[in-house]
Chain A
Amino acid sequence: MKYELVIGLETHVELSTDSKLFCSCGGHSSPKEPNDCVCPACCGMPGMLPVTNKHAIELAVKAGFMLNCKINQYTTFDKKSYYYPDLPCAYQITQWFHPICVDGSVQVGERTIGIKQIHVEEDAGKLVHDEATNTSFVDYNRTSVPLIEIVSRPDFRSSEEVITYLKNLKAGLQFAGISECEEGAMRCDVNISVRPEGSEEFGVRSEIKNMSSLSEIKDAIEFEKVRHIDAIERHTEMLVQETRRWDDVKRRTFPMRNKETAADYRYFPDPNLMPIVIDDEWLAQIKASMPATADEKALKYEEMGIAAKEASVLSSDRKLADTFDAVVASGRSPKVVASWILTECMGQMKRLELDSLDIDTAKLARIIELVESGEITRAAGKKVLSAVFESDVEVDAYCEENKLNAKVDEGFILETVRKVIAENEKIVADYKGGKTKALQALFGSVMKELRGTGSPDVIRAMLEKELN
């Protein structure tokens, strides 16, 4: 029998706010030591009251616009109670009754993925276990950092669709400035079941909790698919609805303790936080501040004459796109800039094993300008770019120091051309005898002598002039 995978995702994303969700502690100031980004509020001292971070609300609304959601203009915060040492108040402030965004959808290839809701909530802290002393420590730096949870409907049918969705989501969130989506800042719970193809009913569901790497998510889905089909076909086990975790070392999922999943969270509206009313004016302001999405950007790039494939790569990464936009804005031709970013810059990134493109866009623009105007050769341009990547050198000063300027010394070029002609009598004879290809060999020798600094057009013109 053929089987169909049915997958729904709950994706937690850290919001790019300057401070935490309900206090003024810096949320993203990369604290260095445990508990150096905490205050009485976010470590659960009595007497403190939560005050909502308006920017977090705006970012959540932006995520709602991005995923074509209905924005609930009346939205509330609720308390979710459970005891755990990393949760200092023993409750998490989240949105249970009136989430901020509902009923959205997003396209993944041919498939439409429904978005059930997006809600805002605070993160928990972190436990650090010291095996040596058999002690646990709590670090509250992360408590109350704002998150959104994006809950999809069970509309995915393959791990590939899940990965594409997550990649697009990440790119979109970065583009809109909603989340940096740094390592570990995007976490997924995957709900998965299997059913005979064509069936309308859902199979028994497993929830795999808290995964952050795309490869783990893919592997976990593939593992669960096999486990579920085996259970149905070969009765290897009785499937039960349960929460599982992925063990990346053992390469399989394991059930989590039932205690953690059977909890009654005793949700109720937080009396300390008044309902938030997002009036039409505020909503319009947030909408107006939305940047173009990755798809819109790709389309715009294509209209600028960039090939579809290149436009797609450029727009998929915020750093690439921002660099492209900035350099084009400085007056360089889009096609040329695209080529420099996708070939030369990405080559340097690969060589130096960099994850993201962090280059002074003014320097890249200057290099391209110099090459385009013939001041330096493309080969010299590459050399400068490499130096900029390695030690952030000043472009013009570097060209000067290394005598890369193609236009400076035409006399020296002519001298070299004459020298090469004098030293290669046979090739010169061949050329004069009609072998036009011989010119290329002479040209190569001149270039070699000049170590790539002369303008190719100038050299070729001089060679021809001297030979005829």
Chain B
Amino acid sequence: MFYINQINAAGTIAVDDTILIKGTPATAGSKMLENFKPLFSAEAVERLEKAGYSIAGKTNVGEFGLDLLGETSAYGAATADGKLIGAGAALVAEGKIKAALSVDLNGAPRRAAAVSGVDFIKPTYGTVSRYGVIAAACSGEQIGVTAADAEGVKEILTVIAGHDSKDGTSLPDEKYEYSTDADVSAMKIAVAKELYDAADAAVKAKIDSFADALKAKGAKVEFVELGIIAQAQTAWQILMAAETTNNLSRFDGVKYGYRTADYKNIDELYVKSRSEAMGFLTKATIIYGSDVLAKAKYEKCYDKSLRIRRVVCDRMKAVYAEYDAVLAPACSKAEYAPYDTADAFEKVFAESLFTAIPSITGMPAMVTGGVQLMADSFKESVLLSIAKSVEV
């Protein structure tokens, strides 16, 4: 299933069902919000509409955006030829829409772009308003743009980025100028050694050919050990799960959304509504998140993860002092078959190894040609220019 709700067949932009459009049901891929109609639109949607873009519809997502490639949607995963594909990226790849907006909280839209062979950018945290995003992991999730090429990504990102007073974490700059023509020949690119080693042969081949193309342009490309990969992965898992647990607790069957048919008291209303309407990965994330926030564990889990976030940022700043960008796989494989979602928690955690650094640091990342590029905060133009230079 690609669209949860198709709004306008002639529309050119699709948005994930975790992003609100006034009056159009927003499910976030969950049974919990089956009939939830929001009273307002996301800031990013408003900006697109104001700029004259028309919204094609709401695309299917994994429940609350937590999974690999949309496989945990209560409305059925989007698949093609027996493979998992992200709905928004697949529609872009098929040329049915110009661009898609997705919320990147644990790498799902980056993986989707990689398997569909389209471009996706997760911009610097705070540059695109999160107002109107069904929140899960507030400290790292960010609306990003999927499009067929770097110019398409740049066009849409320019429209939606800029300060929004309705989001307390929105950065002060009113607008951002992005460019696709920075000089790639003078750039130094680091290939993340540990991530390269962790990917399969098909992905390694994509990295190799991308590196070769950059070298052919005159860029310097070399392997670098980042060193904080596993720490970033675990710390982001803790922060992401804790914040998600907290944000999803509002879905309790009291005010809106799914409510169990039969209950004797308020505790039963909570437990049955949530048990019946939430999928396995969401429940596993909530249990994990509740555990790491428990008083007895707070210091050594959540608080420590916040400190690790600082260490990871410092390490990446040091890397970017020397290199313009980091080249790495976006995921371990080039394609994914549907699987038993009882294994989703472990599978998503394993794949988050490749996506965790931009998630936890809030620094930008871009997927193009099946590979991932990372850069320092506000260096979207570096990413866009590299992507454009390698396009055929």
Residues of chain A touching chain B, judged by Cβ–Cβ distance below 8 Å, are 40, 43-52, 79, 81, 83, 85, 88-91, 136, 138, 264-269, 271-274
Contacts and interface: CB of A to CB of B under 8 A. Distances in A.
A282 to B, nearest CB: 17
Contact of A138 (B39, B131, B254, B294): B254
B165 A47 contact: no
B168 A272 contact: yes
| Max count, chain A CB within 10 A of own CB: residue among B40, B250, B294, B298 | B250
Contact of A88 (B169, B243, B255): B255
A265 B295 CA distance: 8
Contacts of B40: 40, 47
Say which size band chain B's interface belongs to: 35 or more
A90 B270 CA distance: 11
A88 B247 CA distance: 11
Contacts of B295: 264-266
Contact of A45 (B39, B249, B302): B39
A138 B242 CA distance: 27
Given A45-B38, A274-B168, A83 B138 contact: no
Contacts of B38: 40, 45-47
A47 B133 contact: yes
B132 interface: yes
B307 to A, nearest CB: 12
Which has the most chain B C-beta neighbours within 10 Å: A46, A49, A88, A272?
A: A46
Interface in B144-182: 165-169
Given A49-B166, A49-B167, A268 B242 contact: yes
B246 A50 contact: no
A47 B134 contact: yes
Given A40-B39, A46-B20, A90-B249, 9 more contacts: A44-B250, A46-B247, A47-B20, A49-B166, A51-B165, A138-B255, A266-B290, A268-B242, A272-B169
A378 B293 CA distance: 71
B130 interface: yes
Nearest to A85: B254
B243 to A, nearest CB: 6
A44 to B, nearest CB: 5
Contact of A91 (B132, B167, B249): B249
A408 to B, nearest CB: 65
Contacts of A45: 38-39, 255-256
A44 B254 CA distance: 11
B119 interface: no
Contact of B166 (A51, A85, A265): A51
A352 to B, nearest CB: 45
B260 interface: no
Given A45-B256, A272-B138, A264 B294 contact: yes
Interface of B: 20, 26, 28, 33, 36, 38-40, 42, 130-135, 138-139, 165-169, 242-243, 246-247, 249-252, 254-256, 266, 270, 290, 293-295, 298, 302, 306
Contacts of A266: 246, 290, 293-295, 298
B243 A49 contact: no
A47 B133 CA distance: 5
A195 to B, nearest CB: 28
Given A47-B20, A49-B131, A49-B166, A268 B255 contact: no
A136 B266 CA distance: 10
A266 B42 CA distance: 29
- Which 10 A-B pairs have CB atoms at the shortest separation, nearest pair first? A90-B249, A271-B139, A266-B293, A46-B134, A271-B138, A47-B132, A89-B250, A47-B20, A44-B250, A264-B295
A291 B370 CA distance: 65
29 contacts: A40-B38, A40-B39, A40-B40, A44-B250, A45-B256, A46-B38, A46-B250, A47-B26, A47-B40, A47-B135, A49-B131, A49-B169, A50-B168, A51-B167, A81-B246, A81-B249, A83-B249, A91-B249, A136-B266, A264-B295, A265-B295, A266-B290, A266-B294, A268-B246, A268-B293, A268-B298, A271-B138, A272-B135, A272-B168
Contacts of B294: 264, 266
A266 B36 CA distance: 28
Nearest to B19: A47
A44 B246 contact: no
Contacts of B28: 46
A317 B130 CA distance: 47
A108 B133 CA distance: 51
Contacts of B251: 46
Contact of B252 (A40, A79, A90, A136): A90
A51 B168 contact: yes
Contacts of B168: 49-52, 272-274
A164 B256 CA distance: 46
A282 B251 CA distance: 39
B42 A47 contact: yes
A85 B295 CA distance: 23
A268 B295 CA distance: 10
A50 B166 CA distance: 8
Nearest to A49: B167
Contacts of B242: 268
Contacts of A44: 250, 255
B250 A88 contact: yes
A28 to B, nearest CB: 23
Contacts of A48: 131
B130 A49 contact: yes
Nearest to B132: A47
A48 B138 CA distance: 11
Given A44-B250, A47-B134, A85 B293 contact: no
Contacts of A49: 130-131, 135, 166-169
